[in-house]
């Protein structure tokens, strides 16, 4: 079974703090993704990566950056957290480049920015 | 538990009955579709997928039907059990022109009554 592990289940940060959300997958998948999930808005893609040191913007990249220094690890960075970034953050990985393979998700990090 | 959606459509079903969850997708060029299940406090879990060259695919207690004419996808769960209570999402790959990324529907909450 694919395992996608997000380092924190819950985080509380203050406005203006720099926040790191970490994600590790153990199946040697090429592709990794960060989504946020908000009531009424569903899952929205923030950033994704098809290879080490490679990143591409998703639909809502503003206020975020990412880092992929190793194949198994994909980090989401909030340079200066704001209250509108309070959300559930979901990391995912997939085996095949492009959309024709299922994403495997972690259990999410619920971030609250006060 | 955590809520993934405050105003989701809800399907109430008696334990042992069959459930049908519907999804209208947006793009006639979409060529790959997935159903996910999300339980409270967890990330989305892959259930079943189907490619656009198929009309029907069966898994264990689940069947996905694809009607490309009306751009409709459905998930049928046979003999619904209490453990099937969750939010169910469909996702579509809207094709190469849009970057081969998955786009997610808003979800349907399924409540199984004992």
The string of pLDDT tens digits covering residues B14-67 is 999 999 999 998 888 888 999 999 999 899 999 999 999 999 999 999 999 999
A48, B104, B25, B111 alpha-carbon torsion, rounded to 10°: 160
Residue A2 or residue A108, greater confidence: A108
Give the pLDDT score at B4. Answer: 43
B39 touching chain A per CB within 8 A: no
The answer to whether the CB of B4 falls within 8 A of the CB of B71 is no
Domain count, chain B: 1
Length reported for chain A: 114
Q: Please give, rounded to a whole number of angstroms, the shortest distance from the CA of A80 to a CA of chain B.
A: 25
Give the pLDDT score at B6. Answer: 53
Query: What is the band of A1 on the pLDDT scale with cuts at 50, 70, 90?
Result: low
Helical (H) or strand (E) element with A49: strand A42-49
Residue A101 or residue A37, greater confidence: A37
Is residue B4 one of the residues assigned to a domain? no
Q: Please give, rounded to a whole number of angstroms, the shortest distance from the CA of B79 to a CA of chain A.
A: 25
CATH number at residue B50: 2.60.40.10
Separation between Cα atoms, residue B59 and residue B61, nearest integer Å: 6
Best of B6, B39, B43, B100 to substitute, by most chain A Cβ atoms within 10 angstroms, is B43
Domain, as residue range, for B33: 10-113
Is residue B76 one of the residues assigned to a domain? yes
Separation between Cα atoms, residue A107 and residue A88, nearest integer Å: 10
Is residue B61 one of the residues assigned to a domain? yes
Q: pLDDT per residue over A23-74, tens digit each?
A: 999 989 999 999 999 988 889 999 999 899 999 999 999 999 999 999 999 9
CATH number at residue A20: 2.60.40.10
Domain, as residue range, for A99: 4-113
Taking Cα atoms as reference points, which of B99, B103, B39 lies closest to residue B71?
B103
| Facing B7 at nearest CB: one of A40, A45, A105 | A40
SS3 B90: strand
SS3 B44: coil
| Facing A39 at nearest CB: one of B6, B36, B45 | B6
Q: How many CB atoms lie within 10 A of CB A58?
A: 19
Domain count, chain A: 1
């Amino acid at each position: 079974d694919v395992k996608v592990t997000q380092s924190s289940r819950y985080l509380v940060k203050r406005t203006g703090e720099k926040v790191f959300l970490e994600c590790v997958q153990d199946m040697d998948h090429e592709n990794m993704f960060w989504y946020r999930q908000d009531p009424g808005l569903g899952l929205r893609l923030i950033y994704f990566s098809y290879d080490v040191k490679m990143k591409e913007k998703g639909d809502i990249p503003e206020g975020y950056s990412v880092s992929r220094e190793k194949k198994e690890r994909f980090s989401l960075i909030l340079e200066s957290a704001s209250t509108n970034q309070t959300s559930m953050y979901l990391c995912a990985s997939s085996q095949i480049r492009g959309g024709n393979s299922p994403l495997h998700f972690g259990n999410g990090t619920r971030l609250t920015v006060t | 538990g955590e809520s993934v959606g405050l105003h989701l459509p809800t399907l109430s079903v008696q334990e042992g009955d069959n459930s049908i969850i519907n999804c209208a997708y947006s793009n006639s060029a979409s060529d790959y579709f997935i159903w996910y299940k999300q339980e409270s406090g967890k990330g989305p879990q892959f259930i079943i997928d189907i490619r656009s060259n198929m009309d029907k695919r069966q898994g264990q207690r689940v069947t996905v039907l694809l009607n490309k004419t009306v751009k409709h996808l459905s998930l049928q769960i046979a003999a619904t059990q209490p453990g099937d209570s969750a939010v169910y999402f469909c996702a579509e790959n809207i094709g190469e022109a849009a970057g081969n990324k998955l786009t997610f529907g808003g979800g349907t909450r399924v409540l199984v009554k004992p």
